[in-house]
Chains A and B, each alone.
Chain A
Amino acid sequence: MAKPEIDNRTHFLLRLAFVWHIALTIGLLGGIVPLWQAGKMAVWLRLLLTIVMLTGGLASTLAAIFIRRGEHRGRVISLVINYLGFLFCFLGTLHVLGVFLGIDALAETFPRGIPYLGGIFAGYLVSAFGDRYENFPKRQQAFRRAGKIIMGIFGLLFLLAIRTLPGLLALIKRYNSLPPYLLTAGAILFGVMVWVLWRKDSANALKANNAHEEMLNGLLFLSPNLLGFLLFFAAPLLLSFYFSFTNYDATTKVSDWVGLKNYISLLNLTIAPLSSPAQPATEVLNTKIYDELTRITLFGRGFIIGAQDKLFWIALRNTVVFCLLAVPLSVIPALLLANLLNSKLPGMKFFRAIYFLPSVAAVVGVALIWQWLYNAAVGYINYSIVSVINFINNIFGFAIADPQIRWLSDTRTALLAVVIMSAWQWIGFDTVLFLAGMQNISKEIYEAATVDGASKWAQFTKITIPLLAPTTFFVVTTAIINALQLFEQVYVLINTEPPGGPANSTISLVLYLYVKGFQRFQQGYASAVAWVLFVVIFSVTLLQYRRQRGGTYA
């Protein structure tokens, strides 16, 4: 392999990169000392910054060495460092200038721009309309161009209407202290270095091949997603795990390591025998720790179960009950409906569309509607019940009394009300999934069965249900996972203070987490609740993955 030709300019730029990395190493490693001397800063932040600077410094040294030796690894390391540095400085500049907070100001002016957004959409429609003239390229071109011009004009008007210019000017005015200047300078420096090493000539000088280019492109393309994912998903996830072992309180900012204490007090149960069924709990339980949860009878003896965190167990019970009721109530009708829809009769798409409608509506909106349907005095649900009862009474001469259910304020019916509403909202979604699964089953099997004289019902139970098993499994596990996260339905539909009333009859695990973490701000404890919930949900998910890997469902 011939030694690549290196022109003077590239030679100089690579020299520059070398010097830059030496300087960066010194800067980063040297910066660690003042970091620990500086006042007020959280220990974890110092540690984090130290680790970042140390890694950065060492990587920078490596980059300098490899570039000097003309090895391609140097280019990769250098590009990664400079790219990350550029992103950090660039986003830091935006942050310091208040661009992200400026979204609030944008929200103020955004309504004025909405009509122009309609104009942009109209322009898109014009250009899309051109596709009708596929056989007349000239006409198609004309439509596309017209569409682009319309979109451009309205886009410009939109930017003017939402006051982009004054906003940008306001940003420039924020260059009144050192940090924005420093960060901007950093962004420019890092950006220039990225350009220096990204150039084709530099790449050739460092013996880059196609695989190298592909790798760098891959990292570059994935980087926005991956970095955002790390920052807003992976890091909080780990942090949440850490919090669950502390007594973190967001109001007092106290955060001490307490080990497993949160988990223990969450899960701590005790059981004690009772001498008589009505014996007061204070006589058998250590009421400083335990609250009475329930009483049971086993082998003819009475026992009392006490819990350290009674509300958690009530929330767990409610969530499980909700799951056990809402999942069958949505999945079974969905299966039957999908079976009916899976025919060649006309109008099936129309029905499918209607059934799916509740799935697109916000749970909050749906809960507001159902709150009035459930109204004890004038609601449609009680009205229908009364109408049906009157009808039966008239026909058969019974005298069934009007039950007058107070759906949302009766401890016996409040959770049921949530179940019915949720099942109603989920049926359509499950129906669509089932229908997709059924349409994957080969028609020939049914034809063969029809020839053999199998009835529709036999076809449903002997063919559809067994072959649909993977879909059913998926639908059921998804429904369980959704049901375990019950929150909005209760929060809006029942809407008591504290949430989860009446008398805690509807408090769910997530609602309990919300109360602990965001009403009482015991966020360490709330994190422990979250992880208990996570373990439950994860086991369901794991079951599903196992099954999917082994099964035929892809």
Chain B
Amino acid sequence: MRSKYRFLTLLGNLATYAILIGFAYIMLFPFIFMFSTSFKYQKDTFRYPPRLLPREQVTTVVAGYEGEKPLYYVSVGDEKKPYALVETNIKAGVYADPNRPEITYTVPISKVQPSGGAENQKSIIFNGKEEALWDVPIDGKTIPMVLTNQTAVGRFVDPEEPSREAFQNVRLSEPVEKLTIRPQNYKEVTELQGLDRSLSNTALVTILVMVGQLVTSVLGGYALARLRFPGREQIFLIYLGTIMIPFVVLVTPLYQLMVFIGWVDKLASLIIPWIFTAYGTFLMRQFFITIPKEIEEAALIDGASRLQILWTIFIPASVPALATLATFTFLYAWNSFFWPLVIINTGNRANHVLTLALSILRGRAADNANLVMAGAAIAILPPMIIYILAQRFFVESATSSGVKG
């Protein structure tokens, strides 16, 4: 009985882990795809079926030929051997032995002679039609065959013995590949779209918004939590009521206000309006009211000013709340897209933030998945790193949004 129960528990736990791992894979896969693609060659991104690990074609130097030549697998007899492609676009015919028409041979036209001479070419009735016969050299023997089709092939040679050659369709040949990474994608996309500037702009905007919002929220939160003045409760209720108002309601008049002040297309418009938030003030207020009053009163009697009390008592005691607000603000500022899209000119690259630059890059590098993914990685990696370092505060900022009201 007991062992059966244990067995069922074990089975249940295994199932739990299986589901959790399955979901973890779904959650991680797009990011894995992003990083792997960001290190691929462009050609590799269009391969079907898709592969995660980036690969590149192996090249080699062949005696008697200039430069590096790409390697492909070529069927020689029953074996597949890596041969180097040395010449492309050779006119070739697809020939078949009239006695065994199911086997075809692709041979360059230049290697084939008319059977019985050009003046007097032999012919044969094949598939009910009269067809000319050609002398086709196969493995040292010459066999008369009929031409069934025309194509273009590449000439492949054995890199160790360049006189051994083979002809086959290049597009259908399987390339010899090795694992690789192409970090140049990051450099290229940075130069293509000025992502370095966008990155430093985003960092600047985020830092200033974070600092500004922390300062105004701490001051305002302290006033709302601890200092009595007429209208305090009403102001608090108004703040509370506006937290849920969506930004889109404000976007048109805020744009007009920016036009009036002259901040359209300026970084100031991405910073200044965002450092005064009801949410941050509310969050700090909620934390400050939990700090016991006695410490504060003792300090007041000792003649400390309110600012000193805030700085020496409240701020050290509320580091977790500050960190939570900071992470929340960081994510919001780093990832915001709608407002930059509206207020910053798409042509003014000097003032782009990452999200805006990426949305433009999407159109400019539509065929370069490797570049687009490198750009996405540049935007996603910083929050990811900070998240890994300060995970606790991210989770808390998510749950603290549920403590409203």
Residues of A participating in the B interface, judged by any CB pair closer than 8 Å? 95, 100-101, 103-104, 106-108, 110-111, 114, 211, 214-222, 224-229, 231-237, 239-240, 243, 250, 333, 337, 340-341, 343, 345, 347, 351-366, 368-373, 377-380, 383, 424, 427-429, 432-433, 436-437, 456, 471, 474-475, 478, 481, 484-485, 487-488, 491-492, 495, 510, 513-514, 517-518, 523, 526-527, 530-531, 533-534, 537-538, 541, 544-545, 548-549, 553-554
Query: How many of chain B's residues touch chain A, expressed as a range?
Result: 35 or more
Binds A, one of B114-122, B151-159, B393-401: B393-401
Pair B362/A492 contact, Cβ less than 8 Å: yes
| Chain B residues near A215 (CB-CB < 8 A) | 227-230
Interface membership of chain B positions 199-216, coded 1 if the CB is closer than 8 angstroms to chain A and 0 otherwise: 011011000100000011
| Chain B residues near A471 (CB-CB < 8 A) | 402
Known: A100-B268, A383-B49. A474 touches B402 (CB 8 A): yes
Please tell me if B107 contacts chain A, counting CB pairs below 8 Å: no
Please tell me if B101 contacts chain A, counting CB pairs below 8 Å: no
Interface residues in B372-405 by Cβ distance below 8 A to A read 372-373, 375-377, 379-380, 383-384, 387-388, 391, 394-395, 398-399, 401-405
Chain B interface, >50% SS class: helix
Interface membership of chain B positions 242-255, coded 1 if the CB is closer than 8 angstroms to chain A and 0 otherwise: 10111111111111
Please tell me if B220 contacts chain A, counting CB pairs below 8 Å: yes
A479 to nearest B CB, angstroms? 12
CA distance A237 to B219 in the complex (A): 24
Pair A221/B204 contact, Cβ less than 8 Å: no
| Chain A residues near B391 (CB-CB < 8 A) | 353, 356
Residues of B participating in the A interface, judged by any CB pair closer than 8 Å? 12-13, 16-17, 19-20, 23-24, 26-31, 33-34, 37, 45-50, 196-197, 200-201, 203-204, 208, 215-217, 219-220, 222-224, 227-230, 232, 235, 239, 242, 244-257, 259, 261-263, 266-268, 271-273, 275-278, 281, 306, 310, 331, 334-335, 337-338, 341-342, 350-351, 354-355, 358-359, 362-363, 369, 372-373, 375-377, 379-380, 383-384, 387-388, 391, 394-395, 398-399, 401-405
B150 to nearest A CB, angstroms? 28
CA distance A277 to B196 in the complex (A): 59
Which one of B277, B342, B376 contacts A518 once the chains associate, using CB atoms below 8 Å? B342
Kindly report which residue of chain A lies nearest to residue B52, judged by CB atoms.
A380
| Chain B residues near A526 (CB-CB < 8 A) | 252
Kindly report which residue of chain A lies nearest to residue B310, judged by CB atoms.
A221
Pair A424/B26 contact, Cβ less than 8 Å: yes
Which one of A101, A377, A534 contacts B245 once the chains associate, using CB atoms below 8 Å? A534
Known: A232-B254, A523-B256, A545-B405. A222 touches B224 (CB 8 A): yes
Kindly report which residue of chain A lies nearest to residue B355, judged by CB atoms.
A364
| Chain B residues near A355 (CB-CB < 8 A) | 23-24, 27
Known: A214-B227, A219-B229, A225-B281. A362 touches B337 (CB 8 A): yes
| Chain A residues near B262 (CB-CB < 8 A) | 101
Pair B380/A224 contact, Cβ less than 8 Å: no
| Chain B residues near A377 (CB-CB < 8 A) | 46, 48
| Chain B residues near A372 (CB-CB < 8 A) | 33, 37, 45, 369, 372-373
Pair A111/B200 contact, Cβ less than 8 Å: yes
Kindly report which residue of chain B lies nearest to residue A212, judged by CB atoms.
B229
Which one of A217, A224, A428 contacts B306 once the chains associate, using CB atoms below 8 Å? A217
| Chain B residues near A219 (CB-CB < 8 A) | 223, 229
Pair A221/B359 contact, Cβ less than 8 Å: no
Pair B216/A224 contact, Cβ less than 8 Å: yes
Which one of B29, B34, B223, B362 contacts A222 once the chains associate, using CB atoms below 8 Å? B223
CA distance A541 to B342 in the complex (A): 26
Pair A432/B250 contact, Cβ less than 8 Å: no
CA distance A361 to B331 in the complex (A): 8
Which one of A347, A373, A436 contacts B399 once the chains associate, using CB atoms below 8 Å? A436
B133 to nearest A CB, angstroms? 43
Pair B229/A481 contact, Cβ less than 8 Å: no
Which one of B28, B33, B229, B376 contacts A380 once the chains associate, using CB atoms below 8 Å? B33
Which one of B23, B249, B276, B310 contacts A224 once the chains associate, using CB atoms below 8 Å? B276
Which one of B50, B219, B222, B244 contacts A379 once the chains associate, using CB atoms below 8 Å? B50
Pair A229/B203 contact, Cβ less than 8 Å: no
Pair B351/A104 contact, Cβ less than 8 Å: yes
| Chain A residues near B28 (CB-CB < 8 A) | 354, 357
| Chain B residues near A491 (CB-CB < 8 A) | 337, 341, 359
Most buried by B among A345, A359, A369, A537: A369
Pair A217/B227 contact, Cβ less than 8 Å: yes
CA distance A84 to B37 in the complex (A): 55
Which one of B204, B254, B335 contacts A106 once the chains associate, using CB atoms below 8 Å? B204
Which one of B19, B275, B403 contacts A228 once the chains associate, using CB atoms below 8 Å? B275
A256 to nearest B CB, angstroms? 16
Pair B220/A221 contact, Cβ less than 8 Å: yes
Kindly report which residue of chain A lies nearest to residue B12, judged by CB atoms.
A456
Pair B380/A362 contact, Cβ less than 8 Å: yes
CA distance A507 to B372 in the complex (A): 24
Most buried by B among A107, A373, A427, A432: A107
Pair B379/A362 contact, Cβ less than 8 Å: yes
A16 to nearest B CB, angstroms? 25
Most buried by B among A100, A427, A475, A485: A100
| Chain B residues near A380 (CB-CB < 8 A) | 29, 33, 50
List the 10 closest pairs (A to B, CB-CB), nearest first. A228-B276, A218-B227, A225-B220, A218-B229, A236-B253, A239-B253, A221-B223, A362-B335, A222-B223, A232-B273
Pair A424/B27 contact, Cβ less than 8 Å: yes
| Chain A residues near B398 (CB-CB < 8 A) | 356, 359, 429, 432-433
Pair B306/A111 contact, Cβ less than 8 Å: no
Pair A365/B232 contact, Cβ less than 8 Å: no
Known: A110-B204, A372-B33. A481 touches B246 (CB 8 A): yes
Pair A100/B263 contact, Cβ less than 8 Å: yes
Pair A360/B220 contact, Cβ less than 8 Å: no
Which one of A111, A360, A534 contacts B246 once the chains associate, using CB atoms below 8 Å? A534
Pair A537/B246 contact, Cβ less than 8 Å: yes
18 new A-B contacts at CB < 8 Å, known A488-B338, A545-B405:
A103-B266, A108-B350, A225-B216, A225-B219, A228-B216, A232-B254, A236-B256, A353-B391, A356-B395, A364-B337, A364-B358, A368-B373, A372-B45, A377-B48, A380-B29, A424-B30, A433-B402, A518-B342
Known: A456-B12, A523-B252. A107 touches B395 (CB 8 A): no
CA distance A358 to B351 in the complex (A): 27
| Chain B residues near A222 (CB-CB < 8 A) | 219-220, 223-224, 229, 235
Which one of A224, A347, A534 contacts B215 once the chains associate, using CB atoms below 8 Å? A224
A-B contacts, 12 listed (Cβ < 8 Å): A110-B204, A218-B227, A221-B219, A221-B220, A221-B222, A222-B235, A225-B281, A240-B253, A365-B377, A366-B376, A369-B34, A377-B46
Pair A360/B394 contact, Cβ less than 8 Å: yes
CA distance A114 to B196 in the complex (A): 12
Pair A364/B249 contact, Cβ less than 8 Å: no
A455 to nearest B CB, angstroms? 11
Kindly report which residue of chain A lies nearest to residue B37, judged by CB atoms.
A372
Pair B244/A541 contact, Cβ less than 8 Å: yes
Which one of B197, B200, B363, B376 contacts A369 once the chains associate, using CB atoms below 8 Å? B376
B220 to nearest A CB, angstroms? 3
Known: A228-B216, A353-B391. A333 touches B228 (CB 8 A): no
| Chain A residues near B215 (CB-CB < 8 A) | 224
Which one of B23, B239, B246, B331 contacts A533 once the chains associate, using CB atoms below 8 Å? B246
Pair A373/B30 contact, Cβ less than 8 Å: yes
B77 to nearest A CB, angstroms? 32
CA distance A43 to B275 in the complex (A): 30
CA distance A1 to B268 in the complex (A): 53
Kindly report which residue of chain B lies nearest to residue A211, judged by CB atoms.
B228
Known: A372-B33, A523-B256. A495 touches B335 (CB 8 A): no
CA distance A495 to B350 in the complex (A): 23
